[in-house]
């Protein structure tokens, strides 16, 4: 039987997905996070890199690969709240319909500070929505990275990604993963590779994904150069953006995930992960 994968193919997963050679009998479709979340939950696909909050919400039926994540420790650059007033004064915030995870993170961060602006779904660029009367706009993925750089860039030979300002031209960019780090000291996990517990992926697919990730990370400069051209961003920006991700769901990432799970879905079912690489061989 064919095993169906659903990939969120933002630039941040390029180091895993770009060199992936699917084994025979595995097919793949692509889409934005909310589409892939739905596709997995309604079983239109069998495995997907989904918003981690959906994995938490459906922990009773889902399991995740033990060593794959889209996570960061500190800024992520592509999950941004663009705002024209201080956070405490926000009244009306536009949310993208592409995202589940970042919306949940924004809610946790706002609630943690006792803030409750009106949150509304609305599509458009940050500058369009700010001009349309929103005082905050949440954006994710490639367009958020581009818009961030458009507001706070350009890099000069003397500056680095981390030294760029947070405010320029009257717009402040709050990087939600950086805000999470400041609050918790932990990484933030945006996505995990999840599947229904009764339908785990074939070993050949997991193996192919691990090989693809090794290849991608080993050739990060080339991956970054290719995507920089597509995005219309300097290579330096995309290279920094990509090396900054944590793709292996390591112990610190799991800590961050568990902490977020407790805050966002109190009383959730235990989070389950498939066997770690080499676990079967080691226990024989
Ligand atoms: C960091 C990002 O992570 C993505 C954000 C997601 C979400 O907000 O629901 C889901 C999957 C992640 O790969 C990003 O795309 O900017």
ipTM of this complex: 0.95
Q: Does the beta carbon of 129 sit less than 6 angstroms from any atom of ligand 1?
A: no
Report the residue among 140, 147, 176 best suited for mutation to probe ligand 1: largest number of ligand atoms under 8 A from its CB: 140
Q: Tokens representing 14?
A: 């390029």
Can you tell me which residue has the tokens 């750089």?
A: 149
Rounded-to-integer distance, Cα 96 and Cα 5, Å:
24
Q: Does the beta carbon of 79 sit less than 6 angstroms from any atom of ligand 1?
A: yes
For residue 130, what are the contacts with CB-CB under 8 A and spacing of at least 6? 82, 84, 137, 171
Between the CA of 141 and the centroid of ligand 1 the distance, in Å, is 6
Dihedral of CA 142/144/145/146: which sign? positive
The predicted structure's pLDDT at residue 1: 86
Dihedral of CA 61/11/155/134: which sign? negative
User: Which among 96, 239, 262, 240 has a CA at the least distance from the CA of 186?
Assistant: 262
Instruction: Give me the chain's average pLDDT, please.
Output: 96
Asked if 195 and 47 touch (Cβ cutoff 8 Å), the reply is yes
pLDDT in tens, 111-131: 999 999 999 999 999 999 999
Between the CA of 153 and the centroid of ligand 1 the distance, in Å, is 22
Domains and CATH numbers, the chain: 3-72+188-283 (3.40.190.10), 79-184 (3.40.190.10)
Rounded-to-integer distance, Cα 51 and Cα 264, Å:
13
pLDDT in tens, 225-255: 999 999 999 999 999 999 999 999 999 999 9
Distances, alpha carbon 35 to alpha carbons 40, 52, 156, 221, 265, in Å = 9, 14, 38, 30, 21
Asked if 3 and 201 touch (Cβ cutoff 8 Å), the reply is yes
Between the CA of 284 and the centroid of ligand 1 the distance, in Å, is 37
E-strand stretches of the chain: 3-8, 26-31, 47-51, 62-72, 79-83, 92-95, 118-121, 136-140, 167-168, 171-175, 188-196
Mean pLDDT value across residues 270-284 = 77
**Neighbour tally for 271: CB within 10 Å:** 17
Q: Does the beta carbon of 69 sit less than 6 angstroms from any atom of ligand 1?
A: no
Asked if 191 and 51 touch (Cβ cutoff 8 Å), the reply is yes
* Cα within 13 Å of Cα(275), Cβ side: 12
Q: Does the beta carbon of 256 sit less than 6 angstroms from any atom of ligand 1?
A: no
Rounded-to-integer distance, Cα 170 and Cα 85, Å:
9
Residue 280: pLDDT above 70?
no
Q: Tokens representing 172?
A: 């402040």
Mean pLDDT value across residues 160-180 = 97
Between the CA of 78 and the centroid of ligand 1 the distance, in Å, is 8
pLDDT in tens, 45-99: 999 999 999 999 999 999 999 999 999 999 999 999 999 999 999 999 999 888 9
Between the CA of 281 and the centroid of ligand 1 the distance, in Å, is 33
Q: Does the beta carbon of 70 sit less than 6 angstroms from any atom of ligand 1?
A: yes
Q: Does the beta carbon of 65 sit less than 6 angstroms from any atom of ligand 1?
A: no
Residue 279: pLDDT above 90?
no
């Amino acid at each position: 039987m064919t095993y169906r994968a659903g990939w969120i193919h933002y630039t941040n997963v390029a180091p895993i997905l770009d060199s992936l050679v699917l084994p025979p009998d595995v097919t793949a479709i692509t889409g934005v996070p909310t589409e892939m979340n739905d596709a997995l939950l309604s079983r239109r696909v069998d495995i997907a890199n989904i918003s981690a909050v959906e994995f938490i919400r459906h922990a009773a039926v889902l399991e995740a690969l033990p060593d794959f994540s889209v996570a960061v420790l500190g800024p992520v650059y592509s999950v941004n709240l663009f705002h024209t007033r201080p956070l405490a004064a926000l009244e009306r915030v536009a949310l993208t319909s592409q995202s589940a995870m970042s919306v949940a993170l924004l809610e946790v961060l706002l609630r943690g500070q006792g803030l409750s602006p009106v949150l509304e779904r609305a599509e458009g660029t940050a500058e369009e929505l700010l001009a349309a009367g929103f005082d905050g706009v949440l954006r994710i993925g490639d367009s958020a990275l581009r818009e961030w750089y458009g507001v706070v860039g350009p890099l000069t030979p003397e500056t680095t990604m981390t030294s760029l300002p947070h405010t320029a031209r009257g717009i402040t960019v709050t990087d939600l993963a950086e805000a999470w780090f400041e609050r918790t000291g932990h990484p933030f996990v945006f996505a995990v590779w999840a599947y229904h517990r009764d339908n785990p992926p074939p070993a050949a697919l997991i193996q192919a994904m691990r090989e693809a990730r090794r290849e991608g990370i080993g050739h990060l400069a080339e991956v970054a150069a290719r995507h920089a051209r597509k995005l219309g961003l300097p290579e330096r920006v995309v290279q920094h953006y990509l090396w900054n991700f944590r793709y292996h769901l390591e112990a610190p990432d799991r800590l961050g995930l568990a902490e977020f799970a407790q805050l966002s879905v109190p009383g959730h079912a235990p989070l389950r992960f498939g066997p770690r690489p080499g676990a079967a061989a080691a226990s024989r």
